[in-house]
Amino acid sequence: MKIVVLAGGLSTERDVSIASGSLVANALREREHNVVLLDVYMGYEEDICDIDALFKDNYDFTKEHGVAEDLPDLEAVKNLRKDKTDRFLGRNVAEICTEADITFLALHGDVGENGKLQATFDVLGIKYTGSGYLGSALAMDKGLTKSVLIQNNITTPAGQCFTREDKENGNIFNWNTFPCVVKPCSGGSSVGISKANNMEEFRLSVEDAFKYEEQIVVEQFVKGREFSVGVIEGKALPPIEIIPKTGFYDYKAKYQAGLTDEICPANIDEMSDKKLRESAEDCFKALKLRAYGRIDFLLDEKGDAYCLEANSLPGMTPTSLLPQEAAVEGMNYGELCEKIIEVSLKKYN
């Protein structure tokens, strides 16, 4: 097959996306596919774009790119673009993707994951992996996710959405439930998320979260063990338990090797395993996700599973959770990549 792996972009998760994309592209090439690894924002900026040659040569915009401890400098990335325009799709991206059998979306955050790119590709007739525009939008907005979960009787922490206007007029500071968790409404990879134990910490958390977005979510803190459950074609994979050594599963703990213990299959009883899998499948369906995804949970001391959020494009880095869960099912990394393509193509049958 001719496959474009689309990575990069302009979200705070740019580095994560590039690391995922590089691994996916290499795995698919090893399975004898012709793969173009393309930065969705930079595109292919050469004056002559021979698309057939790009696939034949397995064009790769980067040979090695890890996930740094710090967030990427997005202004510096913008300055690297030759045409200096503000459009999201880089030069020749749509044309190259149109010639592919399918585009593997290795994007994370912002336009790549919030449904805008999916809607654009639908209009252009470009086939892509993962959920459509509606499921992507619902899963990306944590406020909408919480509303959908509540409407479908899926247990989730109590919480509330706030805008910057709520901060300016002081309404947000009427929140009085501590400890609590404060997070950007549409962010990923735990960027901008923090725990507040009192009003003083809450004010600092609010300031930090609003650095990233105009809307944030504040929710009750649930004490419990953290789990994630991958879902492929509506069926849950074995739950994986996440135990950060620093005590909080932040951006650094997620992507720097050795900072988190991840146990799969999770060391839980049969009833808890069943509860997590069923809740993940219910969440996947309620949010109208397609092909594959990943649902994050907290399991409290009573055995209640609280759904935290859904990921419509789970990470595929060396430390990512979905590949670890698939491996327990006997599916290696390359097979997982092909499986994602297989189930995604069913959207177009």
Question: Would you say residue 324 has pLDDT above 80?
Answer: yes
Do residues 285 and 302 both lie within one domain? yes
- The 3-state secondary structure of 233-258, one letter per residue: CCEECCCEEEEECCCCCCHHHHHCCC
Do residues 146 and 267 both lie within one domain? yes
Confidence of residue 251 (pLDDT cuts 50, 70, 90): very low
Residue 123 makes CB contacts below 8 A (sequence gap 6+) with none
Tell me which residue of 329, 287, 332 sits closest to 311, measured CA to CA.
287
Contact 226, 250 (CB under 8 A): no
Do residues 209 and 234 both lie within one domain? no
**Per-residue model confidence (pLDDT) at position 187:** 64
CATH of the domain at 261: 3.30.470.20
Domain range enclosing 187: 159-220
Residues 36 and 291: their CA atoms lie apart, in Å, by 22
**Per-residue model confidence (pLDDT) at position 65:** 56
Do residues 78 and 227 both lie within one domain? no
Residue 56 host element (H or E): helix 51-56
Do residues 263 and 328 both lie within one domain? yes
> Lowest mean pLDDT: which of 93-102, 188-197, 301-310, 320-329?
188-197
Tens digit of pLDDT for each residue in 287-298? Answer: 999 999 999 999
Considering 195, 220, 245, which residue would you say is the last residue of a domain? 220
Length of the chain: 349
Q: How many domains does the chain have?
A: 3
Question: Would you say residue 127 has pLDDT above 50?
Answer: yes
Do residues 151 and 170 both lie within one domain? no
- The whole-chain average pLDDT of the chain stands at 91
Do residues 19 and 112 both lie within one domain? yes
Between 117 and 211, the higher pLDDT residue: 117
Residue 176 covered by a domain: yes
**Per-residue model confidence (pLDDT) at position 249:** 47
- 10 Å CB burial of residue 261 (0-12, 13-18, 19+) is exposed
Do residues 20 and 72 both lie within one domain? yes
Residues 77 and 79: their CA atoms lie apart, in Å, by 5
How far is C-alpha 170 from the chain's CA centre? Answer: 32
Summarize the confidence of residues 316-324 as an average pLDDT. Answer: 87
Residue 133 covered by a domain: no
Between 74 and 127, the higher pLDDT residue: 127
Residue 276 covered by a domain: yes
Do residues 144 and 257 both lie within one domain? yes
Contact 100, 3 (CB under 8 A): yes
- Got the DSSP string for 263-298? ESS-S--HHHHHHHHHHHHHHHHHTT--SEEEEEEE
Do residues 145 and 269 both lie within one domain? yes
Do residues 151 and 163 both lie within one domain? no
Considering 199, 220, 241, which residue would you say is the last residue of a domain? 220
Main-chain phi, psi angles of 116, to 5 degrees: -65, -45
Contact 90, 40 (CB under 8 A): yes
Do residues 120 and 245 both lie within one domain? no
Question: Would you say residue 136 has pLDDT above 50?
Answer: yes
Residue 243 covered by a domain: yes
* Mode of pairing for the β-strands spanning 2-7 and 34-39: parallel
Residue 6 makes CB contacts below 8 A (sequence gap 6+) with 21, 38, 40, 93, 97, 103, 104, 105, 106, 107, 112
CATH of the domain at 68: 3.40.50.20
**Per-residue model confidence (pLDDT) at position 198:** 95
Residue 134 covered by a domain: no
Residues 92 and 73: their CA atoms lie apart, in Å, by 24
